[in-house]
Chain A
Amino acid sequence: MLRLTNIYKLFNPGSVDEKTALAGINLQLNPGDFVTVIGSNGAGKSTLMNVISGALQPDMGEVVIDGRDVTRMPEFRRSAFIGRVFQDPMAGTAPRMTIEENLAMAWKRGQPRGLKFGVTRRKREFFREQLARLGIGLENRLFAKVGLLSGGERQALSLLMATFTNPRILLLDEHTAALDPARADLITRLTETIVREQKLTTLMVTHNMEQAIRLGNRLIMMDKGRIILDIDSEKKKTLTVERLLGEFEQISGHKLTDDRIVLG
């Protein structure tokens, strides 16, 4: 499904500010894998997401999706098979456009965009059904400008837009971190349902340890640009937050430092 081989990514190479964000990442995702990713601030989690999505080009190594080398493919082309939800609820939607217009743009993911109307009556009905899945009443607000929605509502919409075309890979980068606990909880539950129902191959960065353990079938831990631990679903079932943090300290030699960390 997704294979990363020996990925390196440096920022400001050759200067005093040189930073090795990714230092030899090897990762293989199988179809249907739901992998949670944890790690300290600056461990390279977001950089990893950006290298997969094509927002950043690795300095070395290759990215293969479905057996196809996409390392040099620009982001807008790669997005045909990658759905993304960002941390910032503002990032995933166009605020001055309506809910249905946003959905119409998302529906065209990776397809050529021509001179057919973006919203037709049939599509509108379909959008309504899809919005109803979120269970927060957005199906009655198709014509509302997205800028008027709350952060949680926008993030729920972003999640739907990223997933309802069944992308080959779903990337979630702390997509609940900017929300208050109740809304974060809502988005987490929606994520769980959508990923399960559609069997999406997912990579989810989270700072919530309990969540990282409970969700998905695999957990990877990053530190200083490396994957230092890869826990499969069997071992994950018996894992606790304490054991996880202990394991991190043992391997990395320092405490897990994350300014947004939530233990459970």
Chain B
Amino acid sequence: MFGALWSSMPGAVELGLLYALMALGVYITFRILDFPDLTVDGSFTTGGAIAAVLITAGYHPWLATAAAFAGGLAAGALTGLLHAKGKINGLLSGILMMIALYSINLRILGRPNVSLLGMDTIFPRVGKDEKWLLLLVIAVVILIIKLLLDAFLKTDLGLALRATGDNAKMIASFGANTDTTKIIGVSLSNGLVALSGAFIAQQGGFADISMGIGMIVIGLASVIIGEAIFGAKTVFRATLAVVLGSIVYRIVVALALRVEWLESSDVKLITAIIVIIALVLPTASRAWSVRKTARKRSRELAGSEGR
């Protein structure tokens, strides 16, 4: 049992790293922009689809991956436009884009499923001994992307983007166009999500029309788990927490799948439960501690009056 568990760890960590980019995208919208963007479920598939189709058409895998990133940027920019310029409610903008992308993704794929079996992808075929080396390389690549994102968030544009989610009125009074910063933020977010989709398609050897379903919740779970365990004091810490949260999430899922009576199709339910617990716990524990202090103070007051 433990042997099997241990041997499933590298796989879980690898998936966690590849999905971490998607989680970083969710972090940008949900946490930085305070914009609950549901485009993610669609744009993740868009990324996978663009990469798979271009690779099967004979393009270089890295070129295909870059195109996937660009596709995500475009999808996100459209969501941002719907919201910022079309004045459509944020949630609805994302849902509309997600639905529209379902059809677009089918157009891109041409059929529900495109296989990459036997084709060259960005992941080299490695033997058992080199598996760890590959994992290390993936970790380095993901960390570089994380650091680039950190750096971006410290530029003048990045600061304006963060302020848009923090105090939009304030940054507007200093001359930033908050419509533009929102569009840039949602676009970048979905670019990262699509990049993650492109990585996952190549790692798994196929792109599928339904590969993005539930991504938003998985992304949220990663963000919340990461923040809870590793904290989010600075930008550097927060994005690191998201990456680690994504890995922890995959490990939890790997553990859950070892449980006899759980089916692999139960993963989405487990994910939803993780998110619910993570969302309810902090509020509940805060309310509980306030009640406790209030009772204690009341007793003190009652005591001092009795004297």
Residues on A lying within 8 angstroms of B by beta carbon are: 53, 75-77, 79-80, 84, 90-97, 101, 104-106, 108-111, 113-119, 161
Contacts and interface: CB of A to CB of B under 8 A. Distances in A.
Given A104-B156, A104-B159, A94 B175 contact: no
A222 B244 CA distance: 59
A76 B176 contact: yes
Contact of A91 (B156, B167, B176, B178): B167
- Of all A-B residue pairs in the complex, the 8 with the closest CB atoms, nearest first, are A113-B156, A94-B166, A110-B175, A79-B175, A94-B163, A118-B159, A94-B167, A113-B157
B152 interface: yes
B173 A97 contact: no
A113 B176 contact: yes
Contacts of A80: 175
Interface string B157-171: 111101100110111
Contacts of A115: 152, 155-157
A114 B170 CA distance: 19
B178 A76 contact: yes
B174 A109 contact: yes
Nearest to A108: B156
A113 B172 CA distance: 13
B154 interface: yes
B162 A97 contact: yes
Query: Is chain A's binding surface mostly helix, strand, loop or mixed?
Result: loop
Given A93-B170, A95-B166, A105-B160, 15 more contacts: A53-B173, A77-B175, A84-B173, A90-B167, A94-B167, A97-B159, A97-B163, A106-B174, A109-B174, A109-B175, A110-B175, A115-B156, A115-B157, A116-B156, A118-B156
Contacts of B163: 94, 97, 105
Contacts of B169: 91
B175 A92 contact: no
Nearest to A162: B173
Interface in B161-204: 162-163, 166-167, 169-178
B157 A105 contact: no
Contacts of A117: 151, 154-156
Contacts of A109: 174-175
Nearest to B151: A117
Contacts of A84: 173
17 contacts: A75-B173, A79-B174, A91-B167, A93-B167, A93-B170, A96-B166, A97-B159, A105-B163, A108-B174, A109-B174, A110-B175, A113-B156, A113-B160, A114-B155, A114-B156, A117-B155, A118-B158
A75 B170 contact: no
A87 B156 CA distance: 27
Nearest to B179: A76
Given A77-B175, A91-B169, A95-B166, A101 B159 contact: yes
Contacts of B170: 91-94
A110 B171 CA distance: 11
B156 to A, nearest CB: 4
